[in-house]
Amino acid sequence: MSETDPWQAVLERIDDGARLIGLDDGIHRMLSVPTRVLEVAVPVRMDNGRVEVFTGWRVHHDVSRGPGKGGIRFHQSVTVNEVKALAAEMTLKCAVVDIPFGGAKGGVQVDPRLLSDFELERLTRRYTIDVASLLGPDRDVPAPDVNTDARVMAWLMDTISMFRGEAVTGIVTGKPVAIGGSLGHVGATSQGVLICCRAIFHELGMPMAGARAIVQGHGKVGGPLCYLLSSAGMRVVAVTDADGGVYNPAGLDTLALADHVARRGSVDGFEMADPLDPAKLWEIECELAVPAALENTITAEAAESLGAKVVVEAANGPTVPQADAVLERRGIVLVPDILANAGGVTASYFEWAQSRQGFAWEGQIVAERLRRIMETAFDACWHRSKDLKVTLRRASVALALERVGEAIRLRGLFP
C-alpha cells in the first residue's frame, strides 16, 4: 500500500471543489487551515507502576455551522495529519447531510490491544482532561471511532461531569443508552451505507438481489453491514480484515461469520469458506465493493485491478486521490465517504438533540429520520453530480463547500 498524506489528500479535494463552484478565495484559504490543533502528552500509570506517555490530538477544522463533531480514535499509527484530515472530512460530511455541526476529530497514538481495561480507562480519562478546554455541548461533541466504543464514551462523559460537578450528557454521543445514549445509534453507520447502496443501485438500474458484494473490514461498520447486505438479497462473497480473509462464491453465511469473529477475533479460519489473501480482495469480480477498514486502502494500483462496478466507501478516506481518476476512467461509480458513512454522525446528531431536550426518541423515529436524511443527502449529491457533470465525490465536496461557504459568509469575519 503506497503512503499518502491524508491531509494533503483532503486539501486536493477541497481545492478541486472550490474551483468547481468558484468558492471565494478568502473562504477557500480559511478552509485550507484547521481552526485549532491541540497536541497533548497523555501520561498513564500502567498496572505495573511504570508511567508511559502517549501523544494525543484534538482538532477543530471549521465550526461555522455549529459545534465541532467527530470521533476519537485510539490507534498506534495515528498522526496529526491524519486527525486534521479526518476533522476536515467531518466538516464536509456534516454539511452534506445538512446537520448543524462543524468538523472535529481526536486521536491518541496507542495500541489499545496492549492495554488492560484499567489502563484503557486511565488513558481515556487523562486524555479527556487534557483536551477538556475544547469540549462542550455547544463547542465540540466527540463520538466513538476506531478502537473506541460506548464504554470509552461513558468514561469521557463521566470525567467531564465529575470535573464540572454536574451531569453533562450532551458532551458526547455514542454513549450507552442507560446514561443518555440513543436507540438506533449502534449500527447507524452501517444502515446509512446500506441506504446509499440501495440508492446507487436504483439510479444505475442494477438489481441488488443476487448481486455480489465484497467487504474490507469486519468491525463496528463492516460486521453489521455484511448482515444488512445479505438481508437485502446480496451475496457477500468475500470479507477480509487485518488478520486474513475468506471467500465463498456462493455467498457467505454472514450470521455464522459474525459468530466466528466474536469467538476468534478475526474472519481468518472461518470453516464455511476458502481462505483469501487480503491483498487479492479488490480483484474479485463483483457488483459492489465496500472498503470498511482504514484509510488509503484503494490505491491507484488497486483501482486498476478492481473487479467491482460500484464502490461505496464505508471507511473514512479509503481511496487515494490518484485512484479516483482511475475509477472514473474505468467507469466504476463511487459513492464517497462523506456521503456514504454519514449515518453515524446523523445518529449522533439525534442523540445530541435528545440529550439537550432531555427526552428520548423511540427507535422507530430514529430509523425513519435517519432514512429520510440519508436519502435526501444522496439525492442532492446525485443531482449536483449531474448538474456539474462530475463524479459523485467531486459533486459531494462541491455541495458541502457551498453550504460551509455560505455559513462563513453570513457570519462574517471577526473582528
Give the residue extent of every domain in the chain.
Answer: 34-169, 188-340
pLDDT at 103: 98
Q: Which pTM was predicted?
A: 0.95
Amino acid (1-letter code) at residue 18 = A
pLDDT at 1: 37
Q: Are 259 and 265 in contact (CB under 8 A)?
A: no
Which residues neighbour 301 within 8 Å (Cβ) at sequence distance 6 or greater? 2
What CATH class has 188-340? alpha beta
Domain over 34-169 is classified CATH 3.40.50.10860:
yes
Cell of 107: 486521536
pLDDT at 3: 54
Distance CA 39, CA 51 (A): 19
Any catalytic annotation for residue 105? yes
Q: Are 70 and 89 in contact (CB under 8 A)?
A: no
User: Helix crossing, 6-21 with 321-329: angle to 10°?
Assistant: 60
Catalytic residue among 84, 105, 175, 220: 105
Q: Are 377 and 342 in contact (CB under 8 A)?
A: yes
Domains 34-169 and 188-340 share a fold: yes
- Residue 165: exposure state from Cβ atoms within 10 A (0-12, 13-18, ≥19): exposed
pLDDT by position in tens, the chain (length 415): 345 799 999 999 999 999 999 999 999 999 999 999 999 999 999 999 999 999 999 999 999 999 999 999 999 999 999 999 999 999 999 999 999 999 999 999 999 999 999 999 999 999 999 999 999 999 999 999 999 999 999 999 999 999 999 999 999 999 999 999 999 999 999 999 999 999 999 999 999 999 999 999 999 999 999 999 999 999 999 999 999 999 999 999 999 999 999 999 999 999 999 999 999 999 999 999 999 998 889 999 999 999 999 999 999 999 999 999 999 999 999 999 999 999 999 999 999 999 999 999 999 999 999 999 999 999 999 999 999 999 999 999 999 999 999 999 999 999 9
Please state the length of the chain.
415
